[in-house]
Structure 1
Amino acid sequence: MATPRTTDPLTDPLTDPLTDPLTDPLTDPLTDPLTDLATKRRPGAGTRLRRAGAGAAAVLGAFAVAATLLLGASATAHADGDGDRKQKLAGQDAETQAALVADEDHRLNQVRAFTSVAPLQSTKWTVPYRLDTDNGYTLVLTERRAAYTVADLLRLAPQTFVRRKDGSYVLTENIYLNVGAKLKLSNPGGLTLRMASNRSGFVSIVSFGGELSLQGTAQAPLTVTSWDPQANKADTDVRDGRAYIRTIGGQFEMTHAKLSNLGFWSGRTGGLSLTGTDRPNTGSLEDTGQVHGKTARERERADAQDDRSTSSGDVMAMPSGALTTPDARFSTAGLSYVSGSITHSTITGNAFGIFISSATGIEISDTTVADSLEDGVVLHRFVSSSLVQRTVAKDNGGDGFILSRATQQVRISGSTAEGNGGNGYTLSGKPLADGPSASGQAVDSYGSNSVANSVAKDNGRYGVEVLGGFDVGVQNNRIEGGDMGIVARLAADKVSITGNRLTGQNRQGISVRDGVSDATVTGNIIDGPETGVYVRDSAAEIRGNTVQDATNHGVSLVGGVDGTTVSFNVIAGVGPSALDSSRSHGGASIKENQTFAWYDTSSFWVKVKHYASPMTLLWTGILLLILFSAAMGRRRRRASGRGAGIVHPYSDKAPLPAPPPDEIAVAGRRREPVMSE
C-alpha cells in the first residue's frame, strides 16, 4: 500500500496552482481573517481524520484539476468589507461558524474530487449514488437527459427524503448535482421542503455545473425552509450552522417560491447563493492517520470487502436506495459562471438574502428579500450584465442592495430599499488593488452601474452610496429619511445624480466629496435637510436644483473645488447662508442662483467676515482713499478762500472807485456839493 500523504493536494494552496488568489487567505489582504480557519474541525459532528494513499490522491488531484480547468474558476469570498458597520453574525460564535464554513468547503472538495474520477473506474458511478463524507451522507445526482423530480428523490433516498402526514417533505442528507445533472423541485399542488438543521448538523443542496430549478405557481408556491426535526420548527439559530442552497456554475431558476431561515456566516453559505465555478479555498490540511479508530489501511481493507461500495481517502461511496447505516444526526418520521433568474419570490430570515458572485446575465424581478441577518441582495465580485427590477429589500440587518467591487453593467430599476440597517443601495466600483499586491490584481475601476426609478426609505445610513467607479447613474429616485440622501465619494468619476426627490435627511441631501470628478447634480428637489448640496474636494456641476426648507446651507463648498459650477439653483430656507463658499478654494463659479427666499440668520460680524475677502478689502481701501483725498482737497480750497480773498486777474486795471456827490437842497438858494470823506 502506498505511503499516505500528509496534505490534501486539492486544498493545499501551496501546491495547487489553481487556488483562487482572490480567496487565498495567505495572499489576499481582503480576505476576512475570521474565516481563515482551515485547520478547524467541525465541532460536535464526529469529524473524521483525513488520510489517503499517494497514488489515489494524485489521480484524484489530476482529474479534479482537469474538471476545474474545463469549468473555469472564480472568486466567492465573503461579502465585501467596504462598510465599517458591525455585523450581526460576527459576535455569534464566530470561530464555530467559520469552522463550519471551512468544513463545508472541505466536503465539497471531497465530493468534487470523487465525482471527477469515479465514473472512469466503473459504470455503476454514472447513475446516482451516495457518498459517506465527513459531514454525513451526500446524494450525488449524475447527468442524464431528464430532470430529477420529487418522485426520483423518494426512490433514490427513501430514508432521507420523507413525506410527512401534512404533505411536506423533510430532507436529512445533502444533495449534490454533478456536472450536467438537472433537479426540478416542483409539485402540482405546491411543495413544502424542510431541510434538516439543528445542533447535530445541517444539510444543503449544492449544484456544481448542473441545473437547479425551484418552481411553484402563484396559487401554490414552493416553500423551502430550514427545519429542526426535534423541535418541529424552523431553525433560527445560526451559531451551529444552518441549511442552505447553493449553485456553483451552471444554471439556476426560481419562480413563485418562498425561502426562509436559511444559511449562516458567509455569502456562499448564506442561504441562497449563486457563486460561479470556483474552488473552495478552505479545509483541513491535517492528517493523523486515524479514521474513527481505524487506520487508513484497515479502512481500505474493509471497504474492499464490500463490492457495493467504493472509497477514496475518507470518502465512502454507496449505491442510492435504502441506507445500510442510517445517518443518526437527524430523526425523521419513518426513519464557471452561473446564470439564472429569480422571479415572483419571497426570501425572509436568511443570513444573506441573495448572494451572487461570478455571474452574468442574472435577472431578479418581482421579489421581496426581508429580515436578513446581514445584507439583502448582494452582487459580489465579477457580476456583470445583470438586471434587478421591481425588487424589495426591507428590514435587513445590513444594506438593502450591494453592488460590490468588480461588478459592472448592473442596473437596478423600480426597486425599493426600506428600513435596512445600513444603506439602501451601495454601488462600489473601487479597484481590487491600488498598487502592487500579492494577488496581482488589476488596478482598474469598475462601473456602468445604475439605480433608477427606485425608492430608498428610512434606511439606517444613506439612501444611495457610490464608492468609486465610473459612469455611475443615480436617476429619478425617491429618497426619504436617513442620515444622508445620496453620497458619492472615493474618487468616483462621471457620476450622474439627476432628477431625484429627497426629503427628510438629517444632514446632507446630496454629498459629493473626497476626490469625485466630473459629477453632475442637476434637476434634483431637496426638501428639509441641514445642507442641500455639499461638495468637498471634488469637481461637480450643480445646476437647476431646488433646495427648500434647508436649515444650515443651501449649497456648501468646502476645500478644493476647482472646476465646480453652481448656477440656476433655487434655494430657500433659514440658516447662516444660502451659498456657503467661504471655506473653499480653487475658483468655483457661482452665478444666476435665486436666493431671495432665504432668511439669513448669521450675526453682523459673521456677515462682515463673509464679505471681508482680501480683494473686497483692497478695493474698499482704494475707494476710501479716493474719497478721502477728494474731501481733503475741497476742504483746503474753502479754507484758502476765506483767509486771503479772491484776487481778480485784472484788478490793477479797474478805475478807482468815486462815490456819487451828496447834494443838500436849501430853500431859495443852491449849495455846493460836499465831497464825502
Structure 2
Amino acid sequence: MDGAVLVIPAGARLLLAADQSGFSTLVALGGRLSVEGTAESRVTIESWNPTTGGPDDVTADGRPYLRVIGGDLRVAFTDLRALGFWSGETGGLAYDGDRSAEREMQTPVVGPDGAPTVEITEAAVEPARLEVSGVLVQGCAFGLTVANVESPIIGDSAFVESLADGLVLDRAVTGATVDQVEASRNARDGIVVDNTTSGTRMTGLVVNANSRNGLVLDGTAPAEGPNSTGAPTAVSGDSVVEGGTFDDNTRAAIDVVGGTAVRVAGVTVSGGDMGIVLGGGPVDVQITDSALSGQTRHAISIRDDAQDVAVGNNEISNVQVGVYVRNAKADVTSNVISDVELHGIVLTGRLAGSKITENELSGTGPSAINDDRALNARVEANLIDGWASSRSIEQILRTLMQPLTIVWMLVVTLVIVALITRLGAGRKRGDPLRDRRPLQAMSRGVFDRAEAGRFSG
C-alpha cells in the first residue's frame, strides 16, 4: 500500500469477520490510514463472529487487528472493541513508524589510480506521523502499541479492559505526548514506556484498577555491552509525569525501573500495595508536590542503588510506611507524613549522601524514623511531636519471638519440668529415715500385758 490512502469516514461501522476458520485484518504498509470520526458521529471498528452474531471473544484462533507499518496513522473519535491476539504488533491497534530508506547510487568517480568508485547513499525519508485523539480501545489484547516514531500525539483517549497492557510505547519512541489518557482495568499494566523510549511527556493521566502496575517507566539499557543484535547499551529516560490520578493499581501506581532524568509531580495516588517505586538503579529522579494515601506497604519506595533522588513537598497519609529507602542515595525533605501505622520513614542499608530533613511526621507505631539499620544517612530537623510510640500485640509478639528468646524459653521450661518431676518422684519413694524413727514416734509407748501373751512361746 505504499503511497495509498484509506479513509474511514465519520459514522462508519466496520465489522472485521472472525471465526474458527480464520480472521480478517486491516494492515497498511506505508501510505496513510485515516479514521475520521467526529464527536457527534463516531466510528466503530470491532471483530465480528457471524456464527454467534456478536464480537469475537476467543483469542486462541486469532482475532482481527489494525496495524500500520511505515505509514501515517490518524485515528479520531473511534471505538475499537474485541480486537487482537498474541503480542503488541497483533494486539488490536498497532503502529510502527519505521520507514526503510531507499538507497541511491551516485555518479561514479574515477580515482587517481584510474579505478572508478561509486557512493551509495540513503534517500531522505519524511518522518512518519501518528495522531490518536478521542479514541476508546476496549477489550482488546493490547490497547495501543507504538514503535519507531518521533513525536507521536496521543490524547483524550481511553485504553481499558485489555487482556494484557493498555498503552505501550515500545521500541524507539521519542518525544511522545500523552495527554488526558485513561488506562484502567487492564489485566497487566496500564501504561508501559519501554527501555528504548525517551522524552515522553504525560499529563492528566487517569490510571485505575490495573492488575499489576499503573504506569511503568523502564529506562534500563537493552544490553550491557557488545551484542550480536546491535542493541543499544545506553539507558533512556527524560520522562515527565504531571498531574493525574492513580487509584487501586494492584502492585504499584508508578514503577520506575532504571533510567535517568525522571520527573513525577502533582499526581494523586491512592490504594495499591505501594505507591511510587524506584528500582533497578535509576538516576536523577524527582517526586514532588504529590499526594499518596492508603497503600498497604510503602507510599514511596526507593531502593536498589537509586541515585540522586529528591522527594519533597509531598503529602502522605494512611499508610504503614511513608517513605522507604534502602541502599540508595535520596534527599527526603519537607514532606508531611500523617496517620502512619508503623514508621513514617524507614532507612536501611548503605545510604551515603542521603538527607532526611525538615519532614513533619505524625501517627502511631514503634518509631517515626526507623534508622537502626542505616549507614551514613543524615537525619536532622524533622518534626515528630505528633508521633505516639506504640506497639500492637502482633509487633510485641514479633519482638519477643526471636530465635534466642525462644531458645532460653525452652531451656527454662526444661528446668522447671525437671524440678517438678524430681519432687514428684521423691514423694512417691517416701522418707529414707522412716525405718530409723524412735519408737515413741510410731506409738503412744503403752504396752498391754494381755497383749504380751500373744507373742509368748
TM range (shorter): 0.7 to 0.9
- Pairing 1:531-546 to 2, within 5 Å after superposition: 531-546=321-336
Match of 2:72 among 236, 240, 251: 251
Match of 1:378 among 161, 168, 189: 168
Partner secondary structure for residue 253 of structure 1: strand
Corresponding residue number in structure 2 for 1:449: 239
Q: 1:228, 1:235 within 8 Å by CA — same for their partners in 2? A: yes
Deviation of 1:371 (Å): 0.7
- Pairing 1:542-581 to 2, within 5 Å after superposition: 542-581=332-371
Gaps of 5+ in 1: 1-177, 280-335, 610-677
Distance 1:565 1:206, change over 3 A: same
Partner secondary structure for residue 129 of structure 2: strand
Match of 2:6 among 163, 166, 183: 183
C-alpha distance in 2 between matches for 1:348 and 1:602 = 47
Match of 2:158 among 368, 384, 407: 368
C-alpha distance in 1 between matches for 2:317 and 2:226 = 45
Q: Tell me whether 1:203 sits opposite 2:24 in the alignment.
A: yes
Gaps of 5+ in 2: 101-125, 400-457
Q: Tell me whether 1:597 sits opposite 2:386 in the alignment.
A: yes
Corresponding residue number in structure 2 for 1:614: none
Q: 1:196, 1:202 within 8 Å by CA — same for their partners in 2? A: yes
Corresponding residue number in structure 2 for 1:224: 45
How many correspondences in the alignment?
369
Q: Tell me whether 1:518 sits opposite 2:308 in the alignment.
A: yes
Deviation of 1:194 (Å): 0.1
Q: 1:337, 1:358 within 8 Å by CA — same for their partners in 2? A: no
Corresponding residue number in structure 2 for 1:270: 91
Corresponding residue number in structure 1 for 2:264: 474
Corresponding residue number in structure 2 for 1:348: 138
Q: Tell me whether 1:241 sits opposite 2:31 in the alignment.
A: no
Deviation of 1:337 (Å): 6.2
Q: Tell me whether 1:501 sits opposite 2:322 in the alignment.
A: no
Partner secondary structure for residue 45 of structure 2: strand
Deviation of 1:560 (Å): 0.2
Length-normalised TM-score, structure 2: 0.79
Report the AA paired with residue 200 of structure 1: S
**Higher helix fraction (1 or 2):** 1
Corresponding residue number in structure 1 for 2:35: 214
- Pairing 1:312-323 to 2, within 5 Å after superposition: none
Q: 1:391, 1:414 within 8 Å by CA — same for their partners in 2? A: yes
Report the AA paired with residue 179 of structure 1: D
Partner secondary structure for residue 424 of structure 1: strand
Deviation of 1:345 (Å): 1.4
Deviation of 1:439 (Å): 1.7
Q: 2:71, 2:99 within 8 Å by CA — same for their partners in 1? A: no
Partner secondary structure for residue 60 of structure 2: coil
Bigger relative CO (Cα 8 Å, ≥ 6 apart): 1
Q: 1:249, 1:337 within 8 Å by CA — same for their partners in 2? A: no
Corresponding residue number in structure 1 for 2:446: none
Q: 1:246, 1:268 within 8 Å by CA — same for their partners in 2? A: yes
Deviations for 1:445-480, whole angstroms, at most 9, x for unmatched residues?
001012110110011110101000000011110001
**Higher strand fraction (1 or 2):** 2
Partner secondary structure for residue 471 of structure 1: strand
Deviation of 1:441 (Å): 2.3
C-alpha distance in 2 between matches for 1:198 and 1:461 = 36
Corresponding residue number in structure 1 for 2:148: 358
Match of 1:396 among 186, 192, 209: 186
Report the AA paired with residue 370 of structure 2: D
Corresponding residue number in structure 2 for 1:460: 250
Corresponding residue number in structure 2 for 1:588: 377
Q: 2:177, 2:201 within 8 Å by CA — same for their partners in 1? A: yes
Q: 2:72, 2:97 within 8 Å by CA — same for their partners in 1? A: no
Q: Rg bigger for which structure?
A: 1
Deviations for 1:202-243, whole angstroms, at most 9, x for unmatched residues?
111111111000111111100000011222111010010000
C-alpha distance in 2 between matches for 1:416 and 1:391 = 6
Corresponding residue number in structure 1 for 2:408: none
Partner secondary structure for residue 597 of structure 1: strand
C-alpha distance in 1 between matches for 2:99 and 2:63 = 22
C-alpha distance in 1 between matches for 2:248 and 2:99 = 37
Deviation of 1:278 (Å): 7.4
Q: 1:250, 1:337 within 8 Å by CA — same for their partners in 2? A: no
Deviations for 1:315-350, whole angstroms, at most 9, x for unmatched residues?
xxxxxxxxxxxxxxxxxxxxx964211101111011
C-alpha distance in 2 between matches for 1:442 and 1:258 = 37
Q: 1:361, 1:384 within 8 Å by CA — same for their partners in 2? A: yes
Corresponding residue number in structure 2 for 1:304: none
C-alpha distance in 2 between matches for 1:437 and 1:276 = 25
Length-normalised TM-score, structure 1: 0.53
C-alpha distance in 1 between matches for 2:162 and 2:270 = 22
Q: 2:99, 2:128 within 8 Å by CA — same for their partners in 1? A: no
C-alpha distance in 2 between matches for 1:581 and 1:236 = 53
Deviation of 1:438 (Å): 2.5
Corresponding residue number in structure 1 for 2:279: 489
Deviations for 1:556-597, whole angstroms, at most 9, x for unmatched residues?
111000000000000001111101111111x21111100011
Match of 1:435 among 219, 225, 228: 225
Deviation of 1:361 (Å): 1.4
Distance 1:337 1:404, change over 3 A: farther
Partner secondary structure for residue 268 of structure 1: helix
Partner secondary structure for residue 529 of structure 1: coil
